[in-house]
Amino acid sequence: MRVTVLLFGRLHDLAGLRELECEVPREAAVSAVWQAVTGRFPAVAPYARSVSAAVNAEFVKMTTAVDEGDEVAFLPPVAGG
């Protein structure tokens, strides 16, 4: 199934884009989407331990399952304020 992936902050600099489509197996977890992203853009792989994620603009765990058409966002460590 297909999901939309959003990359923020330094992740989009490293990947060279902000948004992409990913094919992942049915019932894939967010972590599988991340694997697909790092497969295409090895430069983002060092963020494996510090990345967090959101699905359809809700914070989720990497173990959360995604659905067809979901918007999956990967967030490097934040620096608001």
Which residues of this chain interact with another protein, rule CB under 8 A?
A: 6, 8-10, 13, 50-52, 54, 57-59, 73, 75-81
CA distances from 39 to 36, 42, 78 (A): 5, 6, 24
Q: How far is the CB of 79 from another protein (least distance, A)?
A: 4
CA-CA distance, 57 to 23, in Å (whole number)? 20
Q: How far is the CB of 67 from another protein (least distance, A)?
A: 17
| CB closer to another protein out of 9 and 32 | 9
CA distances from 5 to 11, 15, 76, 81 (A): 12, 12, 14, 25
| CB closer to another protein out of 25 and 81 | 81
Q: How far is the CB of 65 from another protein (least distance, A)?
A: 17
